[in-house]
Amino acid sequence: MDRIIRFFKRDDVDMYLTLAFLIVVIYLMRGFATVILLTTIFAFLGIKVSRWLNLKTHLPYWIAVIVVYVLVIGIFIGALSYAAPTLVTQLKVIPDMLAKAITNHPVLNKNIDKWVNQAIHSSELIQNGKSILVTGIKKLGNVGTGFTHVLMAIFLSFIFAVSRGRMMLFGRQFLKSRFKKFFGNIYYLTHKFIMILGRIIETQLIICTINTVLMTIGFMIIGMPSIMVLAIIVFILGLVPVAGVLLSMIPLTLLAFASGGIMRVVWIIILVILIHAFESYFLHPRLMADRTDLPVFVTFITLIIMESLLGAWGLIIGIPIVAFFLDVFDVQNSEPRRAPSTNHSAK
């Protein structure tokens, strides 16, 4: 019995038990995972940029936070306001182009009425149409929920960033409490994961910028109109790791068809495939490997597995999770890591 007690009093066992406790808590709070992760990401970036602005301009920190959030939100809204009217104007010509194509095509023009009547009286097609409609309504609901989560995360991250000093003082009170060792382990583990996640997010911003530049050059070569609008679309959707380039294919192909017909759509598809291959097989694994000290092959396999387990979030937090566990288990460090003391954590 004494041996068991001594085993659980070991610092490394205590650390791993705390990690298991955090995993259980995160699993129970999985319904709020999106808001928590978005708040963490926005707060990390907001605090980092605000501290940089504070050092460069000597503005008070809280004013720097307000300036950063106002500028970022203003740029985002301005970009959408600039892009939306252009997109609507470009997409208006698609119905006319389809009607003209049907009229000029002899087979389509001759059989279109018959095909429409068959579709109307087809019970199987009607049933499939109902299923598609229900699925579309659910997807629209998910989009609305996601938008709400983003707004909530922006608000919470802003409040956290502004009151960062007060929150740090509040957190230090736990490190001086009766369970200071337990809270010290929680601080150590969460701080380590947030730092790893922050490096990954910074890398994704670099990848997104490189993809946007390459795609813009491709648009200029192909002769696409409204290149600035297309660059905004690619950059915003490119914030989604790996899948962002593929998501951008939907508006890009529609605009390509509206401006140049089928041939321009083919060129856009080829361009997106090339950029996606470059990002997936070279840029993303290589930069992520450099930031996390993981081999390129391990990084690539991690993206595939985590995407299947966690969906879109797996592409964002999959590599930080693997790098975090490797660090906690001392896989990447040849020297044994001592469990942090409470005093060191408090400092």
**What letter does residue 341 receive in the DSSP assignment?**
P
pLDDT at 334: 43
pTM above 0.85, yes or no: no
Residue carrying structure tokens 């500028």: 71
Distance, in Å, from the CA atom of 55 to the CA atom of 69, rounded to the nearest integer, reads 17
149 pLDDT more than 60: yes
283 pLDDT more than 50: yes
pLDDT-wise least confident of 33-37, 123-127, 304-308? 123-127
| Long-range pairs, 260-264, Cβ under 8 A, ≥24 | 260/223, 260/224, 261/97, 264/222, 264/223, 264/224
Residue type present at position 26: I
pLDDT at 70: 92
Distance, in Å, from the CA atom of 250 to the CA atom of 345, rounded to the nearest integer, reads 48
pLDDT at 216: 87
345 pLDDT more than 50: no
Distance, in Å, from the CA atom of 271 to the CA atom of 204, rounded to the nearest integer, reads 20
pLDDT-wise least confident of 15-29, 95-109, 144-158? 95-109
pLDDT band at 266; cut points 50, 70, 90: confident
Contact assessment for residue 174 and residue 188, using Cβ atoms and an 8 Å cutoff = no
Residue 342 backbone zone (phi > 0: left; psi -120 to 50: alpha; other: beta): alpha
